[in-house]
Amino acid sequence: MTERIERHHYDVVVIGAGGAGLRAAIEARLAGKRVAIISKSLFGKAHTVMAEGGAAAAMGNANSRDNWQVHFRDTMRGGKFLNNFRMAELHAKEAPERIWELETYGALFDRTPDGKISQRNFGGHEYPRLAHVGDRTGLELIRTLQQKIVSLQQDDKREFGDYDARIRVFAETTITELLLDGDRVAGAFGYYRESGEFLLLQAPAVVLATGGVGRSYKVTSNSWEYTGDGHALALRAGATLINMEFLQFHPTGMVWPPSVKGILVTESVRGDGGVLKNSEGKRFMFNYVPDVFRKQYAETEEEADRWYNDPDNNRRPPELLPRDEVARAINNEVKEGRGTPAGGIYLDIASRRSADYIQKRLPSMYHQFKELADVDITKEPMEIGPTCHYVMGGVEVEPDSGAAMGHVQGLFAAGEVSGGMHGSNRLGGNSLSDLLVFGKRAGEYASRYVDSTEKRPAVPAADVEAAVDAALAPLQRDAGENPYKLQQDLQAVMGDLVGIIRRKGELEDALVRLAELRERVAKVSSSGGRRYNPGWHLALDLRNMLVVSECTAKAALEREESRGGHTREDFPAMSAKWRTVNLVCSLDGDKVRLEHKPLPTMRPELIHLFDRGELSKYLTEGELTDFDGSVTEGAGK
């Protein structure tokens, strides 16, 4: 072998430089460990900057009745009780400390009149709970963590004369493979995007913080980085993924023009008079009112239109049906050929409200589309469709430590790449606090793990050679397909067949097509050289996107119910039986294996935060009997 490989030694390698990764790195460095941070983009550009709403933490600044128990309850409700209760508990308890800590790093949140951190209302949260900075909370969070890392580097410079002495950021670097010594993590192999040169980081502990999987979908709010790298690395290292069927879609994201594709259109456009129309100009939602909602929703356009001004004497317009009903209707119109050329439908407020009214009621929407795309929403309808936003599923972890389950040691995961915390659906604001709470924990426990290892694991040279060969393969083939074409095809399969509304036949079809794509991706070729070659980088990412997509499709086919971010048209109801089950994916050779695993049972003091009436919507008869038993027992004492 003649490839040059740059070698480094670290105690902890953190893959991913978004909120979770940076928080983990800070914690490991504070524990005295030498830390490498791998950033796929430049330092400080990670997807965390996109978060607008805020970070949920029960600090009780806006309403003193708020506390961790209320936050825990809201999180479990949002996740439809499929959450790992211990993660939801830790998250609710520790989020306030993590937010306050950011202030000592220099963060400047918006304030209440008495000078505390201001908290705003958000869907699903009982009290105003989201710490925020205007609509750029994510940017504040990542910049604060970035600057804290710089400040630690300045400390190290004073002590050792070198900024990089204990934390080094490897910017624009992609990890393609984790290397193992038996079942212990031994290091990470990857390449510098700039030069195409390889590097090998030897370390006993690796923290995955790579974010989500949205790039496998045609319409997504996610950036190019979101190719499920961490999910795939974990699988290949012997770890397991859970809840992969649960993806958060927003029913109304822009699909055209391309400059704003994936950007979310707030639900209030419909609340303020916007209606959904198909390519024939027909207001189609009247055809999609399910029987259970028939009584609350208008049957004619006239009645619906009267509701906006006189809600007491008229029934609601069907555009305001629950999210999944709207999504199903849009999906069906498009599938039956009444969609727009870009595969969406029209959301029209322009022909129904005056320009003044729209600008006054929806100022940020108006400016966003005007500035980004020169689309004037007061003059023309918007082209919208379901948009992939967040993946609830991810690496199955031990709740307290973030250590990956399965048969691998020394691997940790935090943030969007880990699973369990959000159950089947994530509440807005819970992702920023999630990555702080579990980023810290992963960094802390990775450091402890390093302390407990007596002998540093060794990297098998043959595995390094194999990783080099795999990385160079797309450049050495010249007859294969263009990676961009393959990505488009993968996105089409996932978008059309494993999208927001799922059906058995389509999911089976998706698995067949994914298997075909697997053959084609194995033969992908990219032109050009190794220096900053995005085609080559995409060719290497495709393998990860594919295996993660397969997990999602398999789990979606298996779970025969609708819950949170998983909607099956053939099984539209939530099933108490399925609530007790997690679907766990692992890799057997190169095949995805799916297993059922029982959900851990909630501790009595936690389950008693809910009343029986609410629990009866989620729990099986057996579980309810146990609950009743524990109530009597509690009373007996």
307, 308, 357, 484: which one contacts another protein (CB under 8 A)?
A: 484
266, 279, 378, 482: which one contacts another protein (CB under 8 A)?
A: 482
CA distances to 153, 187, 188, 583 from 3, rounded to whole Å, are 32, 18, 16, 41
Q: How far is the CB of 172 from another protein (least distance, A)?
A: 8
Q: How far is the CB of 33 from another protein (least distance, A)?
A: 11
How many CB atoms are located within 10 Å of the residue 149 CB? 23
Strand partners, 466: none
32, 97, 268, 570: which one contacts another protein (CB under 8 A)?
A: 97
Choose the binding region for another protein from 254-262, 322-330, 436-444, 565-573 (rule: CB under 8 A): 254-262
- Under 8 Å CB-to-CB from 33, ≥6 apart: which residues? 10, 11, 12, 166, 446, 447, 450
**Residue 134, both tokens:** 């205007």
Contact positions with another protein (CB under 8 A) in 358-377: 371-375
3-state secondary structure of 375: coil
With binding defined as CB under 8 A, does residue 44 bind another protein?
A: yes
Q: How far is the CB of 315 from another protein (least distance, A)?
A: 36
**Residue 533, both tokens:** 């070659």
With binding defined as CB under 8 A, does residue 1 bind another protein?
A: yes
95, 459, 517, 607: which one contacts another protein (CB under 8 A)?
A: 459
Q: Burial of 167 by CB count in 10 Å (0-12 exposed, 13-18 middle, 19+ buried)?
A: buried
Q: How far is the CB of 456 from another protein (least distance, A)?
A: 8
Cβ distance to another protein smaller for residue 220 or 580: 220
Choose the binding region for another protein from 122-130, 281-289, 423-431, 528-536 (rule: CB under 8 A): 528-536
Q: Pick left, alpha or beta for residue 489 (phi over 0 → left; psi -120 to 50 → alpha; otherwise beta).
A: alpha
3-state secondary structure of 52: coil
Q: At what angle do helices 430-452 and 137-160 cross, to 10 degrees?
A: 30
Cβ distance to another protein smaller for residue 150 or 631: 150
Q: How far is the CB of 508 from another protein (least distance, A)?
A: 30
With binding defined as CB under 8 A, does residue 464 bind another protein?
A: yes
Q: How far is the CB of 199 from another protein (least distance, A)?
A: 9
Taking alpha carbons only, the member of 513, 490, 584, 506 closest to residue 220 is 490
How many CB atoms are located within 10 Å of the residue 274 CB? 27
- Under 8 Å CB-to-CB from 588, ≥6 apart: which residues? none
458, 512, 515, 609: which one contacts another protein (CB under 8 A)?
A: 458
268, 527, 625, 630: which one contacts another protein (CB under 8 A)?
A: 527
10, 85, 127, 449: which one contacts another protein (CB under 8 A)?
A: 10
Q: How far is the CB of 493 from another protein (least distance, A)?
A: 18
With binding defined as CB under 8 A, does residue 533 bind another protein?
A: yes
Virtual torsion, Cα 33, 36, 37, 39, nearest 10 deg = 180
| Residue 250: active-site member | yes
With binding defined as CB under 8 A, does residue 104 bind another protein?
A: yes
Cβ distance to another protein smaller for residue 140 or 325: 140
With binding defined as CB under 8 A, does residue 379 bind another protein?
A: no
32, 103, 299, 630: which one contacts another protein (CB under 8 A)?
A: 103
Cβ distance to another protein smaller for residue 446 or 584: 446
Q: Of 270, 353, 513, 579, which residue is the catalytic one?
A: 270
With binding defined as CB under 8 A, does residue 41 bind another protein?
A: yes
Helices (H), 161-289: 229-236, 268-271
Q: How far is the CB of 72 from another protein (least distance, A)?
A: 20
With binding defined as CB under 8 A, does residue 56 bind another protein?
A: no
Query: Rounded to an integer, what distance in angstroms lies between the CA atom of residue 611 and that of residue 72?
Result: 14
Contact positions with another protein (CB under 8 A) in 169-228: 171, 194-195, 197, 202, 223-225
Omega prior to 257 cis, within 30 of 0: yes
Contact positions with another protein (CB under 8 A) in 399-418: none
Name the phi and psi angles at 427, rounded to 5. Answer: -80, 145
Choose the binding region for another protein from 211-219, 259-267, 421-429, 619-627 (rule: CB under 8 A): 259-267
Cβ atoms of 240 and 403 closer than 8 Å: no
The 3-class SS string of 522-578 reads HCCCCCCCCCCCHHHHHHHHHHHHHHHHHHHHHHHHHCCCCECCEEECCECCCCHHH
Contact positions with another protein (CB under 8 A) in 121-180: 133-134, 136, 139-140, 143, 147-148, 150-151, 153-154, 157-158, 160-166, 168, 171
Give buried/exposed letters for 41-72 (b at 16+ CB in 10 A, else e): bebbbbbbbebbbbbbbbbbbbeeebebebbb
How many CB atoms are located within 10 Å of the residue 244 CB? 30
With binding defined as CB under 8 A, does residue 105 bind another protein?
A: yes
Q: How far is the CB of 420 from another protein (least distance, A)?
A: 27
Taking alpha carbons only, the member of 422, 388, 415 closest to residue 210 is 415
Cβ distance to another protein smaller for residue 29 or 422: 29
Query: Rounded to an integer, what distance in angstroms lies between the CA atom of residue 329 and that of residue 251?
Result: 10
60, 96, 399, 495: which one contacts another protein (CB under 8 A)?
A: 96
> Widest CA span of the chain, in angstroms?
79
Query: Rounded to an integer, what distance in angstroms lies between the CA atom of residue 187 and that of residue 200?
Result: 7
Cβ distance to another protein smaller for residue 299 or 371: 371
Q: How far is the CB of 45 from another protein (least distance, A)?
A: 5
With binding defined as CB under 8 A, does residue 535 bind another protein?
A: yes
Helices (H), 374-503: 430-452, 461-476, 483-497
Residue 513 is given by DSSP the state: H
Q: Of 34, 71, 250, 513, which residue is the catalytic one?
A: 250
407, 531, 577, 596: which one contacts another protein (CB under 8 A)?
A: 531
Cβ distance to another protein smaller for residue 64 or 632: 64
Taking alpha carbons only, the member of 471, 549, 441, 30 closest to residue 209 is 441
HSE of 336 in the Cβ direction (CA atoms, 13 Å)?
Answer: 10
Q: How far is the CB of 85 from another protein (least distance, A)?
A: 26
314, 532, 581, 614: which one contacts another protein (CB under 8 A)?
A: 532
Query: Rounded to an integer, what distance in angstroms lies between the CA atom of residue 617 and that of residue 637?
Result: 28
| Residue 270: active-site member | yes
Choose the binding region for another protein from 250-258, 287-295, 350-358, 606-614 (rule: CB under 8 A): 250-258
Contact positions with another protein (CB under 8 A) in 555-574: none
Q: How far is the CB of 285 from another protein (least distance, A)?
A: 26
With binding defined as CB under 8 A, does residue 6 bind another protein?
A: yes
23, 45, 71, 215: which one contacts another protein (CB under 8 A)?
A: 45
Query: Catalytic residue numbers?
Result: 250, 270
